[in-house]
Structure 1
Amino acid sequence: MIEFHLNGRPQQVAADAHLSVLELLREQLLLTGTKEGCASGDCGACTVAVGEVGGDGQLRYHSANACIMPAHQLQGRHLVTVEGLADGDQLHPSQAAMVECHGSQCGFCTPGIVMSLFTLHEQQRQQPAPLSAERLEAALGGNLCRCTGYRPIRDAALAMNDMPGHQPHWLDAGSQELAECLATDVGGTSTSDQETFHQPRTLDQLVDLRSRYPDARLVAGGTDLWLEVTQQLADFSRVIDTTRVDELRHIQPGDDGQGREGWWIGAAVTYAQLEPLLEREYPTFAHLLHRLGSAQVRNRGTLGGNVANASPIGDTPPVLLALDARLRLVGPSGSRDIDAGDFFHAYKQTELAADECLQAIFIPSPTPERQLKVWKLSKRREDDISAVLGAFSWRVDNGLLRDVHLAFGGMAGIPARAAGAEAALEGQLPNAGAFSAARAALADDFSPMSDVRGSAEYRQHSAAALLERLRLLIANESIDTAKSTTSEEVMLHAYAH
């Protein structure tokens, strides 16, 4: 049973473990304004807004793809759909702006666009700030439109804050009452065998459930796992949700037990929550998040999920390998810390035992002498999976390369470092000869596969080209660091501005 609010009204519904928010809306609640386009979180036609109460007691909304969000994750949340914004002919400013600026033609994608604009409008209403081109593209980057063209949609986004419109009661006068109601949620903790979707609130509960049901699927953001439901028609018999486990939802400063200071990032921390830390400490890593997915994906997806999923083309694991990150695993016997490089064994096989979970990821504090570059190759500029991703970290000591870490995604069955290429560069001058030897060694480090994203030859050639790019970058910085403009470069910028 799921208890939540829908467009300001309380709801209580029964749902199977594998049910998505989109299916719940369209098939059980008969609210068909939310559309199904790709069923994979790429097009944004199914975008909804999800309201959660923060630590300050305020209700804030984020956009989400309903097609790949487990319905049970609505427990104690406020779900807003396009049906909930207007009152008859009285339109919300996001809707009125779309009408005024002619932002809709066939209308199929329009509900999702309106909901993305709604969340943007709410963010600006709560924290007024100029709407930059980058912020606008970030808000709308996950919404595709085949017929209108994006200029009128962009015009609507820029106009809606100055446009009068209807504010639903739950958004204005009743917002505090709704927030207080949601803040009292205590559901989801059942461990009964009759329940098939478990939502533990503490780490002890999670460990107990994982031990009792080792075959259950763990879900965090669902941005990859739920594709098995929508694309492969999987029927999950039992699911354990990690997103409400308090110990997994925080970023804590600390050390890794090996003398390095840094941050332990809970496995349920979303990309959106992680981004401010990375913007401050690792701008290159933060910039990669702009290429990782849309706002809808970053609002739901987690760093822990990207690691535990163990995809060879996941964007963040190569960066963690380049940074010498550590992982904390937890099970009935307690927790243990391992190097990120020891976590991935083979394709989709990891160090996790059947009764263990990923608890947190440690990222060390940056040092002035150590640099990080991340370059991603994909077919689309944003919201696309990598064909090849290279994450490179190194320092220069007396003109020589030291602590060279060259990590790749898309080059093997697991994200991995290029040991031979690293050895060819370690202790060498960063000249053409050393990098030529590194490229030759790289050919023996990996035997990439061919698939729809690129052939083995393309991947091998591209990885070697990224090493040459690294050589040119180091050479340029050594000539005149003041002229370097590549500190946040991740191949193509995610935004056009």
Structure 2
Amino acid sequence: LRGTDGAPHFVQTAMAEADATQCGFCTPGFVMSAFAFAAGAEKAEPDAIHEALAGNLCRCTGYRPIVDAMTRVAGVAIEPAPVVERRAKSAVFDGTFHAPRSLKELLKLRAAHPDATLLAGGTDLGLLAGHQRKPPKTIIHLAHVPELVAISADKEEITLGAAVTYSQAMPVLTKAYPALRPYLSRLGSRQIRNLGTIGGNVGNASPIGDMPPVLIALEATVTLASVRGTRDVPLEKFFQDYRKTALATDEVILSLSMPRLLPGEVFFCDKVSKRRDQDISTVAAGYRLRLKNGRIEDVRIAFGGMAATPKRATHVEAALLKDGFAAAAAAIPKDFQPIDDWRGTGAYRLQVAANLLRRMELRVSDPTRALEVEAL
């Protein structure tokens, strides 16, 4: 980053004049976040600034001068970074990295390389190569296959290609399901949401992934594709065991579809983690309810972090419909026997799940009640 004449860029100057560089260890990340903030013509509002800075950690704890620098660059006309021209044709690098540009070629590659690692945003797979020192031998990159980055929405359902990023999906998802707005803002910083994909979160099949319990509650369906054709699988049946799914070795996740809320239906979701923002969930939950005259006529509830897979709480649902929220909370152990790990004990997770049902009860009975920390 530099000015057009080779001098320091305005963002760099603002950081220096505001004394925001401090020890310098974190400065490159803050500078690039400030550049993106200014280039996006965002306003100098506290929420917008903190949202833009999320994902950057200052170990000097001197955030005030960094916020001051962000205030200085807000509204300044800054030319965005030039767009790099994308390769129009498929490519192979070193015989091990495949970058198809069509679904047909992708499916042929998948059939020929069933053990290859499928790469979309890489926000999770990057740990495999960097932290665990186990780089994949063969990679198939998904991010430039048109069908996998498509978004469609009609009156009945929303369909997201498997390589659609969180940032791309957020406008349509938060409009259809407003409870996802604060939920997705906690999932990761802008840097993560700009690369991470919902299809990757599902395909990774982690029991503590943020999106699977939400999507199960929304009655999502995953479409799988191979050279043999396509098939639809209810997401709740896609997860079979710890990190094991219904995905065959020659298949890829093509898309995820979820029905819109019907009249009288409401949707909520919760995430409990050791750190509020940008942390892996200890317990995550999604709830879809159909209400009529103050009574719950139908319900779908799913939890993550409570079993070897993201899982629907069928006993909880039945108890809720029959005997109410207290009975639903008492039925949680029938659905889940969570393990102990460093994020929380099994007993803690059971208590958290019961508390979240209580929170949902308060939401339904008194929608005006402030139940979120930010609202108090």
The answer, yes or no, to whether TM exceeds 0.5 is yes
Partner of 2:343: 453
Match of 1:92 in 2: 9
Matched residue, 1:405: 300
Amino acid at match of 2:246: E
Deviation at 1:162, TM superposition (A): 6.3
Question: Cα gap change, 1:444/1:199 in structure 2, threshold over 3 Å: closer, same or farther?
Answer: same
Partner of 2:114: 214
Counterpart of 1:155 in structure 2: which amino acid?
D
Q: Which residue of 2 aligns with 1:275?
A: 170
CA contact (8 A) 2:362 2:369 kept: no
Does structure 2 conserve the Cα–Cα contact (< 8 Å) formed by 1:103 and 1:148?
A: no
> Kindly tell me: are residues 163 and 308 of structure 1, through their superposed partners in 2, closer, same or farther at Cα, counting changes over 3 Å?
closer
Once residues 328 and 384 of structure 1 are traced to their aligned partners in structure 2, the CA distance between those partners, rounded to angstroms, is 28
Letter in 2 for 1:454: G
* Partners of 1:373 and 1:393 within 8 A in 2: yes
Q: Is the contact between residue 97 and residue 163 of structure 1 (CA under 8 Å) also seen in structure 2? A: no
Give the 5 Å matches for 1:21-40: none
8 Å contact from structure 2 (residues 89, 101) kept in 1: no
Aligned to 1:60: none
Unaligned runs of 5+ in 1: 1-83, 255-259, 478-482
Name the CA distance, whole Å, in 1 between partners of 2:75 and 2:279: 34
- 2:101 is paired with a residue whose SS is coil
Report if aligned partners of 1:105, 1:148 keep a CA contact under 8 Å in 2.
Answer: no
Pick one of 233, 237, 243 that aligns with 2:137.
237
Equivalent-residue separation in structure 2 for 1:446 and 1:148 (angstroms): 40
CA-atom RMSD, angstroms? 2.2
The corresponding residue for 1:204 is: 104
Shift, 1:399, TM fit: 3.8
1:310 corresponding residue in structure 2 = 205
State the partner residue of 2:22. Answer: 105
- Contact conserved, 1:104 with 1:148, CA < 8 A, in 2? no
Map of 1:39 onto structure 2: none
- SS of structure 2 residue aligned to 1:279: helix
| C-alpha contact 1:96 1:163 (8 A) present in aligned 2 | no
For 1:161-219, what per-residue CA distance to the aligned partner results, in whole angstroms no more than 9, with x for missing partners?
4679xx7xxx58xx7xx64xx436235434x8x51111111111111111000000001
- Pick closer, same or farther for the CA change 1:268–1:184 going to 2, 3 Å: closer
Partner amino acid for 1:215? D
Q: What amino acid sits opposite 1:237 in the alignment?
A: K
The equivalent residue for 1:333 is 228
Matched position secondary structure for 1:353: coil
User: Residues 148 and 411 from structure 1, CA distance in 2 versus in 1: closer, same or farther, beyond 3 angstroms?
Assistant: closer
Distance (whole Å) between structure 1 residues aligned to residue 6 and residue 146 of structure 2: 43
CA contact (8 A) 2:44 2:74 kept: no
* Cα deviation 1:395-419 (Å, max 9, x = unaligned): 1234432221111010001001111
Offset at 1:485? 5.3
Task: Give the drift of 1:115.
Answer: 0.8
Q: Distance in 2 between matches of 1:384 and 1:409?
A: 14
- Measured against aligned partners, the alpha-carbon deviations of 1:306-356 in whole angstroms (never above 9, x if no partner) come to 111111011111111111011110011111111111110001000100000
1:159 aligns with 2:72: yes
Matches of 2:43 and 2:85 in 1, distance apart?
A: 31
Equivalent position amino acid for 1:471 in 2 = E
CA distance in 2, matches of 1:470, 1:464: 10
Q: What count of residue pairs does the alignment treat as equivalent?
A: 376
Q: Is 1:138 aligned with 2:38?
A: no
Matched, 1:261 2:156: yes
Give the distance between the partners of 2:288 and 2:106, measured in 1 at CA.
35
